[in-house]
Amino acid sequence: VSETGCLSIVVLGASGDLAKKKTFPALFNLYRQGFLQSNEVHIFGYARTKISDDDLRNRIRSYLEKGSAKSEEVSEFLQLIKYVSGSYDTEGGFRMLDKEISLHEEFRNSTEGSSRRLFYLALPPSVYPVVCRMIKLCCMNKSHLGGWTRIVVEKPFGKDLDSAEKLSNQIGELFEEPQLYRIDHYLGKELVQNLLVLRFANRFFLPLWNRDNIDNVQIVFREDFGTEGRGGYFDEYGIIRDIIQNHLLQVLCLVAMEKPVSLKPEHIRDEKVKVRVSNTSLTHFSFPVMPIKDEEVVLGQYNGYRDDPTVPDHSNTPTFATVVLRIHNERWEGVPFILKAGKALNSRKAEIRIQFKDVPGDIFRLFSCLGKNQGRNEFVIRLQPSEAMYMKLTVKQPGLEMSTVQSELDLSYGQRYQQVTIPEAYERLILDTNYGRLQI
């Protein structure tokens, strides 16, 4: 951890799906790697369910005992977790939480050091305002030795522009901007983090990355499982708010943005914002990626979605969507950005495909094994599973004959970086919130 003194991490919504599947496992991995030390960190789970510390520990144990994790390590880590139950809209539970955190701080800070309090809201956005009010009222860091209180929230951040702005204002009235971390876990994925490096540290790409050379960009997310008991949440939001509006749009911004002045978070953010907000077209003043045409949207729902008992019988909520976005600026005019996302499909994959235009005046057409034009050059960045990037290109088929074939320049991380364990997205982001770094 970054500073001396103790760190209290509070997971609100501790018995929920996100906490079990992502938040606690990420904290456990940070602990195993020595980023969270048992002599300074304590983790508090908070939720409405009335259960004991051990009940919570038992509920999350199986999510931690995976891969190379040893059962003793898991037990050690679980001992750092304390559970407090309480409602989200009354002071009682939060006062109790504050008492528990203060006890931990007094114990750890008996000599010196500041106190850091990180509140991770693994909760639906409808309760963000009230929970933030309660934190402000009851649980702020009070140490005279310094430290901070920080709040982490995730998407979906509201349901539409009005509700997102309202939410932003409500939380913004309570906390200063540097205390607020609105995270998107796709930004913590290794190959998403790599996008800026790829684009701006490689001469190859600089002159090619534009409408003169690129025919279309596809950003695809597919999952091979359905709602799995999360139907209550999912049905209210649908695939567009669950995946496209946040995860895929963030990736799109990194693919499409101009080079930032520096790697300072605010410079990167400014360039990302310009992809979505520019004045290149007066009629589309606020949103260069708009308007989306009706005929360029396809929605679908997988068979069996309504069989999930948590989904209403007559739900029309889409679980699949394809949307074509167009960016009206000098670099991208005319290039479709095709965003696709779907649940319960036949495989799990997230990737970016940059398809290049055909080579003009193709002299190899008659020699192609395909018997037609060469296949196009394509640059594929696979975010998951099995992180990789590869470039499809045309080469001569080895042998005496002059014929051409499509092949690949392939950088598969599993092979190239065998010694490196690629961190889970949430590990990186939680670490960043502690170091006070902003996301890309």
Which residues are at the interface with ligand BG6 (CB under 6 A)? 185, 223, 242, 350, 425
247 token code pair: 């995860």
Helix axes 161-174, 128-138, angle to 10 degrees: 0
State the minimum distance, in angstroms, from the CB of residue 231 to ligand BG6.
Answer: 11
- Provide, rounded to whole angstroms, the least separation between the CB of residue 323 and ligand BG6: 17
Tell me whether residue 75 or residue 386 sits nearer to ligand BG6 (CB atom): 386
Q: Which residue, 299 or 393, is less far from ligand BG6 as judged by CB?
A: 299
Question: What three-state secondary structure class fits 196?
Answer: helix
**Residue nearer to ligand BG6 on the CB measure, 269 or 349:** 349
- In this chain, which residue has its C-beta nearest to ligand BG6? 242
Beta bridge partners of residue 341, listed in sequence order: 221, 321
Kindly state the smallest distance separating residue 380's Cβ from ligand BG6, in Å. Answer: 17
What torsion, rounded to 10 degrees, do the Cα atoms 32, 33, 38, 39 define? 160
> Smaller CB distance to ligand BG6: residue 220 or 335?
220
CB of 425 to ligand BG6, least distance (A): 6
Kindly state the tokens that stand for 87. 């409602």
DSSP strand pairing (297-300 vs 378-384): unpaired
Please identify, using beta-carbon distances, which residue of 109 and 246 lies nearer to ligand BG6.
246
Residues designated as active site: 247
Task: Return d(Cα 421, Cα 132) in angstroms, integer.
Answer: 35
Neighbouring residues of 83: CB distance < 8 A, sequence distance ≥ 6: 14, 44, 45, 46, 47, 51, 52, 53, 55, 56
Question: Taking the mean position of all CA atoms in its chain, how far away is CA 217?
Answer: 20
CB of 304 to ligand BG6, least distance (A): 16
Which ranges of 147-296 does DSSP label H, i.e. alpha helix? 161-174, 190-200, 231-239, 249-256, 265-276
Residue 369 Cβ vs ligand BG6, minimum distance, rounded to whole Å: 36
Nearest alpha carbon to residue 324 among 358, 349, 290? 290
**316 burial via Cβ count (<10 Å: 0-12, 13-18, 19+):** exposed
